[in-house]
Copies of this chain bind each other. A is one copy, B any other.
Amino acid sequence: MRLTFECLAVNGAARRGRVQARHGSFETPAFMPVGTYGTVKAMTPEELVGIGAEIILGNTFHLMLRPGEQLIAELGGLHGFMHWSRPILTDSGGFQVFSLAKMRKITEEGVRFRSPVDGSEVHLTPERSMRVQRALGSDIAMAFDDCTAWPATHAEAEASMLRSMRWARRCRDAYYGEDSSDAAETPGDLFGIVQGGMYADLRQRSLEALLELDLPGLAVGGLAVGEPEPERLAVLDALMPQMPQDRPRYLMGVGRPEDIVRAVQRGIDMFDCVMPTRHARNGHLFTSTGVINIRNARHQRDPSPIDPACDCYTCRHYSRAYLRHLDRCNEILGARLNTIHNLYFYLDLMRQLREAIAEGRLDAFAADFFARRAAVEPVA
């Protein structure tokens, strides 16, 4: 089947929708918790469902290196391996090659690099990325692209974007083509990724190149790589009105709650970010008025929950004093309770955004959202 996107309501540029994928549907705008190594860190699948996650993300780069896609395919694909029965999106590995791999060498064929796990040489190409994602059995696969660094000159960004577009075509051919390897699952749906750095003309040309491939969804890549927020928003402001209305739009790797609100206002439907899970393990907790650091001494004897306005399991049963104690003792339960809270915060924000769009009051919601976020305790 080909993934479908149903638009249920619009409010300005924002959309309230539903995506039907191979393993079920999910409501948009959607946030996808990141499950790097076949687990959303510290969470069971049942806990994820319980706080409203409908789709999660798996990292092709990490899973290919450990435990390897063949092993996962043998054990029922990523769904069976990790006991998750709802949709999964896998990234292509392109961004991790860009951010994590050592001794990286990029050619037209693909990228050679040293595995950060064991130092062995790895060759990742568009075709290899598609084979891995087929083996993982994800619902949504992402095209393997060349992630443009920031800053980049127009010429650098253009060359990188054009390579990504050539690779996108190879990805489509490989992903939907016959694959006779034992590990290959039937394909799910492949999303293309718009590149072009901070240049509106390159973004436009990238979009046009992808539209020729007729893929069921489109992502915006190459953002959240260090650029100032106004540049990121300028890219979205120029690009989003050109994006097709009939398929989901995914902003990769973004971001803070406020980034998500601004991107939803511009028409983005899907998000992923490690921030809620990683911040949780570092004691940075999201609240309706900003981020708190649970390690701060002022929480030592505080009987109140992280956020009195929050209905999550953690806030219903545990004090800041207890969470601070668990963090200081490096207790696993601390990482768990913090993760539950932070993911709940993100998923609840998405619910509120969907409701606001459906009721035609997104701008009012956003104004209120930003007004409440006093800088209580900025994250260092």
Q: Which residues of A contact B (CB under 8 A)?
A: 37-39, 41-44, 66-67, 71, 74-76, 81-83, 300-301, 303, 317-319, 321-322, 325-326, 328-329, 331-333, 335-336
Contact = CB atoms under 8 A, between A and B. Distances in A.
B74 A333 contact: no
B325 A38 contact: yes
Given A300-B71, A318-B83, A336 B325 contact: no
Nearest to A45: B317
A335 B332 contact: yes
A42 B42 CA distance: 9
A71 B318 contact: no
B66 A322 contact: no
Contacts of A331: 37, 39, 41
Given A303-B75, A335-B332, A39 B83 contact: no
A333 B41 contact: yes
A71 B37 contact: no
B300 A66 contact: no
Given A37-B331, A39-B333, A83-B317, 20 more contacts: A37-B325, A37-B326, A38-B322, A39-B326, A39-B331, A41-B333, A42-B332, A66-B325, A67-B325, A75-B301, A75-B319, A75-B322, A76-B303, A81-B321, A81-B322, A83-B322, A332-B332, A332-B335, A332-B336, A336-B336
8 contacts: A39-B326, A42-B336, A43-B333, A66-B328, A74-B301, A75-B319, A332-B335, A332-B336
A301 B68 CA distance: 11
Contacts of A76: 303
Contacts of A42: 332-333, 336
Nearest to A62: B329
A228 to B, nearest CB: 34
A367 B303 CA distance: 51
Contacts of A38: 322, 325-326
Contacts of A333: 39, 41-44
A315 to B, nearest CB: 12
A373 to B, nearest CB: 29
8 A-B pairs with least C-beta separation: A42-B332, A39-B333, A37-B329, A83-B317, A67-B325, A39-B331, A75-B321, A332-B332
Contacts of A300: 67, 71
Residue picked from A43, A300, A322, most chain B C-beta under 10 Å: A322
Contacts of A321: 67, 71, 75, 81
B44 A82 contact: no
A336 B47 CA distance: 13
A82 to B, nearest CB: 7
A47 to B, nearest CB: 10
A43 B329 CA distance: 15
